[in-house]
Amino acid sequence: MLEAIRILGLEKKSRFYQASTSELYGLITRAIARIALGLQDCLYLGNLSALRDWGHARDYVEMQWLMQDHPEDFVIATGVQYSVRQFVEFAAAELGISMCFTGDGVDEVGIVDSVSGSQAKVKAGDVIVRVDPRYFRPTEVETLLGDPTKAREKLGWTPTTSLHDLVKEMVLADYSSARRDALVKLAGFQTFDHHE
């Protein structure tokens, strides 16, 4: 997104707030793809109950394009929240993995409930998500939600990519990348872990 702002010459017209959870998107989808292929055992996360306003860069760049000639402040957001837990569930579901969560706080775990199709090498009962207290931020913001009403009313902008579509796009790309790693490993070569 920052590169798109620079390329379009919008550095002086745009103020960009990047939530600290932005890297979480890719962390989750990469790990779920690698777990499905047997390249990784578990995904370690912090607060699974944290609510975020997840959105696609494609929509956000469109909004920036629309607002460049309007010297006003606009909030670029979807206006819809989902928990980190839900994001994990959506990502797993894209590969045929149904999950359930049990426990609270640092004792919460994500367990494979069932598997459909042949994409995933996990089985019911496998624990594939754990909470690691190292990832709980001391001043965790429990909820992040933007209000894009002004952008919708003044510019006619509405995000077009649902969270489900965003997750699907990311999981498919990360699964394809992880498959290459799986083939390299199967051929006897070293692969690199993309997690701690």
The reported pLDDT for the residue numbered 185 is 83
Q: Provide the mean pLDDT of the chain.
A: 88
Task: Let me know if residue 51 belongs to a domain.
Answer: yes
The domain total for the chain is 1
- What contacts 122, CB < 8 A, 6 or more positions away? 35, 36, 97, 112, 115, 128
- Convert the pLDDT of each residue in 55-66 to its tens digit: 999 999 999 999
State pTM to two decimals.
Answer: 0.84
Task: Tell whether 192 is covered by a domain.
Answer: no
State which residues form the domain around 151: 2-186
User: Beta strand pairing status for 127-131 and 109-115?
Assistant: antiparallel
Q: Look up the CATH number of the domain holding residue 143.
A: 3.90.25.10
Confidence at residue 124, expressed as pLDDT on a 0 to 100 scale: 97
How does pLDDT run across 155-189, given as a tens digit for each residue? 999 999 999 999 999 999 999 999 998 898 888 88
Q: Is residue 195 part of a domain?
A: no
Q: Identify the weakest region by mean pLDDT among 11-15, 22-26, 42-46, 177-181.
A: 11-15
Q: How confident is the model at residue 9 (pLDDT cuts 50, 70, 90)?
A: confident
Locus of tokens 């426990």: 103
The encoded tokens of residue 2 equal: 């920052």
Report if residue 107 sits inside a domain: yes
- Report pLDDT for 139: 79
Is 86 part of a structural domain of the chain?
Answer: yes
Burial class for 31, CB neighbours closer than 10 Å (0-12, 13-18, 19+): buried
